[in-house]
Amino acid sequence: MDKIIFVKTADVAKWLTLRIVAPAFVGSIPIIRLTDRDACLASLFLLIKGSDHLNQKLKGVLLAMLGALCWGIQGPISQFLFQETVVSTEWLMGIKMLVAGIILSIYAISREGLHKFMAPWHHVKEGSKLLAYALFGITLVQYMYFLTIKVSDAGIATILQSLGTIIIIILTLIIYHKLPTKAESFSVVLALVGTWFLVTSPSSLLKLNLSTKTIIFGLLLAFAGAMQTMIPVGLLKKYSSFILLGHAMLIGGIIFTCIHPFWRDYPKLTMPVLLGVSFIVLFGTALAYICFTSSLKYISATSAGLLAAVEPVSAVIGTVCFLGTTFTWNQLLGGVLVVSTIFILALFNKKEG
């Protein structure tokens, strides 16, 4: 027998109680009879609790969107620095990853302590995985992203990065011999078609419209994106993402600082350069990772994945509105097809869950 709640009157308190209390507690408490005053108090209590829940969820949504937005805006700003100034890719990589690594490491240590932060290096296997994650995941994806922007634009780079999810599906099939689901197979086909539209000429879909460098860097970017997701899977069961990101950023920052020390041959530090580099380091890297990762405390990974689509959209809008970049009809169509795979896979995972 279904549990219900009886109240005396048909006022607002009764309506709220029936609509909020009953669905929330059906099957978990005995039948309750409430007076008018009790109904009002119960309604008020549940409204506050419901408001807290909604506030938590809204907080998660805003954090995920802010993180993705910072990632997306970072693209057009990087494009501006490469096109309008003499900023070296290696110099920018060194200062971006080193400073962001310090910030993320301090944040991780403040949350979990120095001993926990250094724990991965106490085990050879875990340390090796962390090093691989730093080199072939985080560092490679950051570097390929900048190189792809440099030879094309931020919109194209961010869309090509979205192919990382498709590469994960393909690698899972090759390495683990796990057949893709129907939704995954459809997403792969959709992404391939979208990529074809993206790289070909609007006048002839048999003629490449992007440079060979753009295609190579873009595919390496997508591959690195897959690696930064697949490599740390085992580590994330034991360590927080902030610990892994802190180490990975520091390692990448040290490597590129050795390649191009930030105190040598640095660009002329005009106000646009200072503002651009500051945004990339503080907001486009450190804050973006902190916000997006923190959002997972309040919303599901599926919801966060859907909201991550803000990144390519904001990158494309930014390049068009502020840098005057133009996209052909087939590039726009290709971009939509590629980005749509994010929604398809996320919704499918939600349904499966």
Please say if the pLDDT value at position 186 is more than 90. no
Q: Report if residue 40 sits inside a domain.
A: no
Confidence of residue 12 (pLDDT cuts 50, 70, 90): very low
Residue 177 in 3-state DSSP?
A: coil
Q: Report if residue 320 sits inside a domain.
A: yes
Of 180-184, 212-216, 349-353, the one with minimum mean pLDDT is 349-353
Number of domains in the chain: 1
Q: Report if residue 163 sits inside a domain.
A: yes
Please say if the pLDDT value at position 92 is more than 60. yes
d(CA 316, CA 154): 7
- Give mean pLDDT, residues 182-203: 82
Contact 54, 241 (CB under 8 A): no
Pairwise pLDDT comparison (224 vs 165), residue with the higher score: 224
Share of the chain above pLDDT 70, in %: 82
Give which of 8, 333, 49, 299 is closest to 191, Cα–Cα: 333
d(CA 102, CA 285): 12
Q: Report if residue 75 sits inside a domain.
A: yes
Please say if the pLDDT value at position 350 is more than 60. no
Express each pLDDT in 234-275 by its tens digit: 898 899 989 999 999 999 999 999 999 988 888 888 999 999
Give which of 236, 3, 270, 288 is closest to 126, Cα–Cα: 236
pLDDT at 6: 41
Contact 209, 345 (CB under 8 A): no
pLDDT at 36: 56
Contact 285, 74 (CB under 8 A): yes
Both tokens of 33, joined, read 């009879």
Eight-class DSSP state of 119: G
Kindly state the greatest CA–CA separation across the chain: 79
DSSP symbols for 24-41: HHTTTS--EEE-HHHHHH
Express each pLDDT in 32-68 by its tens digit: 454 555 555 555 555 555 555 567 788 888 888 888 8
Eight-class DSSP state of 178: P
The angle at the Cα of 129, spanning 141 to 287, to the nearest 5 degrees, equals 45
Instruction: Output the pTM of the full model.
Output: 0.78
Q: Report if residue 115 sits inside a domain.
A: yes
pLDDT at 339: 83
**What is the residue range of 147's domain?**
61-352
Average pLDDT, the chain: 81
Which phi and psi (to 5°) does residue 6 adopt? Answer: -105, 135
Q: Report if residue 335 sits inside a domain.
A: yes
pLDDT at 254: 96
pLDDT at 221: 94
Which phi and psi (to 5°) does residue 201 adopt? Answer: -80, 145
Contact 94, 259 (CB under 8 A): yes
Q: Report if residue 7 sits inside a domain.
A: no
Q: How many CA atoms lie within 13 A of 67 on its CB side?
A: 22
Q: Report if residue 331 sits inside a domain.
A: yes
The continuous run of DSSP H or E covering 5 comes out as: strand 5-7
Share of the chain above pLDDT 90, in %: 35
Q: If you search the block for the tokens 């690696």, which residue do you land on?
A: 227
pLDDT at 180: 82
- Give mean pLDDT, residues 157-172: 86
Pairwise pLDDT comparison (218 vs 36), residue with the higher score: 218
